[in-house]
Structure 1
């Protein structure tokens, strides 16, 4: 890891940001969260809460916490970079580019008022 640069840190940060958002918020990974989280409706609002007890509760707590999931997503990406560098850098770049695209889309959406 002697070649770890500021640029790599930024790319890894963007990749971790996007991977974490996919896991915690995106519809495409709802099937991963579903066994560990319950939806509760109150006054027309829907809340997601961890299952009541045991390992499912622990995993539910992890999957409902952006900061907690972010640590593990970062660790996974760094592990891929260190132990499977060819695959790792490809995955990291895909998530980093997707993060940049998402950030740009959010900025443009707000500027255009949509």
Structure 2
């Protein structure tokens, strides 16, 4: 079976092979993690408390935004994206560039929704192996998220008081 992007999209620029390579890489990473964890006798938790789900979810949200939208992390995205514009709160809009795998990676690293699956995989894997460390990292990212909300609230309060 061949992957023909021309039959998939009228623009002929969807990097289906690149997407397939990324999906295979993600799947291989999960399989490798599972095999190593099993070999080392690491047991899955019987249950994950709701607070941990909320913590990991918030941390996944923030880490995904930091990786895909933050000015300071643009050096990670630069080989695969082009800066389109600066937006509010130190975030930027990057557009994927290139073709094939480079374009697929550009799509991944410029999309917080796409990146969140990878971040969640890393955080959940960390939670299985070292729950305390994963909670600490999750707490740090959650604290940054709360601080962001407070920054927005303060800015809104200033705007309403001044106007």
Mark yes or no: TM-score above 0.5.
yes
**TM-score using structure 2 length:** 0.60
Moved >3 Å (runs of 4+) = none
Aligned Cα root-mean-square deviation (Å): 2.1
Tell me which structure has the larger Cα radius of gyration.
Answer: 2
DSSP-derived class of the 1:28 partner: coil
Larger RCO, structure (CA 8 Å, separation 6 or more)? 1
**TM-score using structure 1 length:** 0.83
| CA-CA distance at 1:47 after TM superposition | 6.1
Q: In the alignment, what sits opposite 2:60?
A: 16
Give the paired residue count.
110
Structure 1: which 5+ runs fail to align?
Answer: none
Q: In the alignment, what sits opposite 2:20?
A: none
2 CA distance for matches of 1:29 and 1:67?
Answer: 17
DSSP-derived class of the 2:46 partner: coil
Q: Going by fraction, where is helix more abundant, 1 or 2?
A: 1
Match of 1:54 among 83, 100, 107: 100
Which deviates the most, 58-67 or 84-93?
Answer: 84-93
